[in-house]
Amino acid sequence: MILSDTRILENVRAGQIVIRPFRKECLGSNSYDVHLGTHLATYRNGTLDARLDNSVDEFRIPKDGFVLSPGQLYLGVTQEYTETHGYVPFLEGKSSVGRLGIDIHSTAGKGDVGFCNYWTLEMSVKLPVRIYAGMPIGQLIYFEISGKVANPYNLKRSAKYTKVSRRPMPSKMFANFGKRPASQRRGGPTK
């Protein structure tokens, strides 16, 4: 089930959901609006390698906005820092943003119980669009979870995105390489 506005507010007051800054006017009927932060990043190389720590160029969005171009991936970040304890957060684009042809994430809309950070956005556009820091960019939706979580994200040893940052975080897929399951290591599993 998706939390209603009253349930989101109850959980914010109880500390189960943290949103900083929290503005009551951003609370929708069953979501919370988040805003675009001040920084964007683009990958330096035209070809990315999943095994490498790909470099990015980071820049501040000017006061008069910045035009996103089709064919380019931009990493953005939310203004809001969030924590979710006991619920599964989903970040979706706002309909007004979608109607401008802006996608705010490729595949990473679902957070984990225990995620405590700013949200990195994987932004792309269909047409050139001028965007501004502070504009509404997405909405958080909270789902109830069935059962006790044994390993929340903020306590998971393998979690790659726990360092709190107001800046967009590039992919850390490279950290997955070299940690192959025993069945894939040379010689296979021991019996």
Active site residues: 122
Place of tokens 């999943």: 50
Work out whether strand 136-144 and strand 32-35 pair parallel, antiparallel, or are unpaired. antiparallel
Closest among 53, 34, 38 to 167, alpha carbons compared: 38
What is the C-alpha R_g of the chain?
18
Q: In whole angstroms, how far apart are CA 131 and each of 25, 75, 188?
A: 21, 13, 51
C-alpha to C-alpha distance for 128 and 115, rounded to whole angstroms: 32
